[in-house]
Amino acid sequence: MPLVPTGEIVLGARAAGTGAGAFNVVQIEHAQAIVAGAEAAGRPVILQISENTARYHGSLEPIALATLASARRAAVPVAVHLDHAESPALVHEAVRLGFGSVMFDASRLPYRENLAATRETVGHCHGHGVWVEAELGEVGGKDGAHAPGVRTDPDEARHFVAATGVDALAVAVGSSHAMLTRNAVLDLTLVAALRDAVPVPLVLHGSSGVGDADLVRAVGAGMTKVNVATHLNKAFTRAVRDHLREHAGTVDPRRYLGPARTAVAEAVTHLLGVLGSDAPLMRR
């Protein structure tokens, strides 16, 4: 199955009334596991690489090439996305490498500066056939910025999308990045209002903190792209700890990274099943 554009997966999910799972890659085992999990579920999937992960690897290209290769070998449609990029240079590199979409995050800037920077990025990316996701008002929990109580205003969202031409919008509706418990309370009424306010798909960041039932409700209310990172990292780390506790003499990393990869694949399969389940009929 060839690498596909992100828009193909996201718009297909929106048309079907389901969620599009987008999972963050930290190292090659994550990319392999996410693809394996999607294949087991028989569902398309989006692999995401964040600016923080690119920094961890020293640059974007090494982890990007491994992730793109994993996507191209998949038996289901797979897209590759740059997540939370604040650097325009990194966005340009992702476009050059063949990413299907980027999330340009200028949400730390004042509104007018965010709008101008995002519009410039959209112009560059659209010139190369690449989708752009943006964020209006920081989603809570990232680097200590904004409490989880921050909310996206529908009127401001409508203006921002019209002025920038973005293809998808990440909104703040009650979730928070890096949550270790799945007890976030989403404002589903706001999700529905945002769905009605903007013509582009909505993106839920911080979805690791949202339980299965509320993910289904969020999709039913109007969310489409659902981003998951910390939940997979918990599964990965738990599997490593379990193996090393039971096999304290292990020195070959493949012995514990293999079970970790399997644990992530199983989590992806489960979550894709949740996102593909019948949602409450709240969409119009």
d(CA 138, CA 76): 32
Question: Using N-to-C axis directions, what is the helix angle for 253-275 and 230-246, rounded to 10°?
Answer: 140
Q: Annotated active-site positions, please? A: 83
Measured between alpha carbons, how far is residue 170 from residues 63, 202, 236 in Å?
A: 24, 6, 26
d(CA 222, CA 68): 29
Collapsing DSSP states into helix, strand and coil, what is residue 102? Answer: strand
d(CA 22, CA 39): 14
Question: Using N-to-C axis directions, what is the helix angle for 253-275 and 212-221, rounded to 10°?
Answer: 50
Half-sphere exposure of 140 (CA within 13 A, CB side): 19
d(CA 258, CA 262): 6
Half-sphere exposure of 171 (CA within 13 A, CB side): 34
Question: Which of 275, 272, 277, 212 is closest to 43 using CA atoms?
Answer: 272
Phi/psi region, residue 202 (left: phi>0; alpha: psi -120 to 50; beta: rest), is: beta
